[in-house]
Amino acid sequence: MKLVLLPMLAAAVLFAQSTEPAVGLPDQIPAPELNINSRYTVESISFVGQHHYRLSTAARDEMHRLIGAKLSTEALNRLARRIRGELRAAEVTFKLTRGGEANHVKVLLDVDNRKRNFDLSIPTFSYNSRQGWTGLAEAATTIGGNTFTAGAVSDGDTLAERYTGFKLRYDRLSLGTDRIRLAFEFDSYHELYDRATLVALGTGQSSSLGAGAYRSRTNFEPSATFILAKPLTLTLGMSFEELAPQVSAARSESANTVVNTLRYHRSWESSDANNQELDAGYNLRAATTLLGSDLTYTRHLVNVRYKYRHQQQSVEVTLTAGMIYGNAPLFERFILGDSTTLRGWNKYDLDPLGGNRVVHSSVTYGYHIMRVFYDAGSVWDQGKSPEARHSTGIGISSGLGLFQKGAFLLAVAFPIRQGRADPVFIAGMNY
């Protein structure tokens, strides 16, 4: 009661006596900086501990704009909010320190990821007018150095089959040292097949296919990631995959593999809005009877992505090559003609069962939000002649604030071939 009466009493006293005007600044007068440090020039903006975070082009541009200008707390607040959204951090704060030159200050951004222990996200979403939509939604919680993630997925894009189900994952973020991480993942999917795939399976078009159509598959995958050097990581693990047959009387088959991934990621930035990014990886999956696998095969995949950006222009080049020895199941086989490869082609027209050999490259030129791309590649089975395919397209790509990990893309893509051209509309986010 006292708390309720106090403001009323105080307000009555104030209104009756009007000691001093209770007004803010008139709208037409801009509020001056309250921070005495606003008279200093920003010399640099960096992260505490010299951490490097993957930020959007827009965020990096905003940082570059603030460098060399007088300190503005409002502008720094905007930047902090943007970075907090992009990194999905609990808090982004900043500190000022003396600069190297007189009347200059350095801004140190401090990203706090520890306090936020629950996160909902959509790491992937895409729509292809021929193949429908694909989406992954995840909920993650971090307790101490442990992250628990649960996700729901329906993906009709990246494999010859559409798989729908859930994934559960546990990550131990450090094991004695920050250079070692552990992960355990469990996935359970139900499969759907395009008619073209079922027809091809029925006619036995691929002799290298290790298993027919399966109704569902489950996967248990423990792994350990070692940070060999700052940009170079090695992941060693095993995958125990069980394929339930379409006919319940039949025996399920297993594809138990050793999984090794070597990944290199590095980016170079300079203050004049130039930056380069290189991402390269080699993935080996070897299914062996030593792990009790019914299917035996070895799958190699190499991919390289290089991006160069100069102010508003960018060029991105990707290269992928893969090969499978032995009889791998459908989910391991390579496909082209999805939302990121040979865009414009229908993957079921190219090869409804996928292939055990693949080569693909792509070049994308960007100016502001405009994108123009050219894809070339081939997917085939060993012993057959590869046929090169090409496609091109145009679209727009930009960030989406809080959702931005990569960007969203709206594009129209055309397969390059004789005869009529059937454009494909592609929309995607974070891929």
Please identify, among the stretches 101-109, 142-150, 154-162, 221-229, the one whose residues bind other proteins according to the rule CB under 8 A: 101-109
Inter-residue contact 364 to 315 (CB < 8 Å) = yes
Torsion angle of C-alpha atoms 205, 210, 213, 217, degrees rounded to 10 = -160
The answer to whether 9 contacts other proteins (rule: CB under 8 A) is: yes
Taking the least distance from each CB to other proteins, the nearer of 27 and 272 is 27
Contact pick of 46, 51, 77, 289 for other proteins (by CB under 8 A): 77
The answer to whether 100 contacts other proteins (rule: CB under 8 A) is: no
Distance of alpha carbon 310 from alpha carbon 289, whole angstroms = 51
Cα 336 to chain centroid, rounded: 19
The answer to whether 46 contacts other proteins (rule: CB under 8 A) is: no
The answer to whether 31 contacts other proteins (rule: CB under 8 A) is: yes
Q: How far is the CB of 96 from other proteins (least distance, A)?
A: 3
Q: Name the strand (E) or helix (H) holding 295.
A: none
- Give the strand pairing for 41-47 and 104-112: parallel
Q: How far is the CB of 39 from other proteins (least distance, A)?
A: 9
The answer to whether 81 contacts other proteins (rule: CB under 8 A) is: yes
Taking the least distance from each CB to other proteins, the nearer of 109 and 335 is 109
Contact pick of 40, 345, 373, 431 for other proteins (by CB under 8 A): 40
Distance of alpha carbon 364 from alpha carbon 353, whole angstroms = 28
Taking the least distance from each CB to other proteins, the nearer of 22 and 143 is 22
The answer to whether 91 contacts other proteins (rule: CB under 8 A) is: yes
Cα 342 to chain centroid, rounded: 20
x/- track of binding to other proteins for residues 341-380 (CB under 8 A): ----------------------------------------
Burial of 398 (0-12, 13-18, 19+ CB in 10 A): middle
- Give the strand pairing for 253-269 and 162-172: unpaired
The answer to whether 24 contacts other proteins (rule: CB under 8 A) is: yes
Considering only residues 221-260, where is the footprint of other proteins by CB under 8 A? Answer: none
3-state class (DSSP) for residue 300: strand
Please say whether the dihedral angle defined by the alpha carbons of residues 205, 210, 215 and 220, taken in this order, is positive or negative. negative
Distance of alpha carbon 410 from alpha carbon 394, whole angstroms = 8
In the numeric block, the tokens 């209104």 are attached to 15
Q: How far is the CB of 55 from other proteins (least distance, A)?
A: 15
The answer to whether 1 contacts other proteins (rule: CB under 8 A) is: no
Contact pick of 55, 66, 105, 255 for other proteins (by CB under 8 A): 105
Please identify, among the stretches 93-101, 167-175, 190-198, 394-402, the one whose residues bind other proteins according to the rule CB under 8 A: 93-101
Contact pick of 14, 228, 370, 421 for other proteins (by CB under 8 A): 14
Taking phi over 0 as left and psi of -120 to 50 as alpha, with beta for the rest, 430 belongs to left
Q: How far is the CB of 403 from other proteins (least distance, A)?
A: 17
Structure tokens that stand for 214 in this block:
């399966």
Each residue of 237-257: b (16+ CB within 10 Å) or e?
A: bebbbbbbbeeeeeebbbbbb
Contact pick of 45, 67, 87, 90 for other proteins (by CB under 8 A): 90
Sheet (strand 91-98) strand order: 41-47, 104-112, 91-98
Q: List, in order, residues 6 or more apart from 1 with CB less than 8 Å away.
A: none
Taking the least distance from each CB to other proteins, the nearer of 12 and 199 is 12
Taking the least distance from each CB to other proteins, the nearer of 97 and 274 is 97
Binding site for other proteins (CB under 8 A): 3-4, 6-7, 9-11, 13-14, 17, 19-25, 31-32, 34-37, 40, 73, 76-77, 80-81, 84, 90-98, 102-103, 105
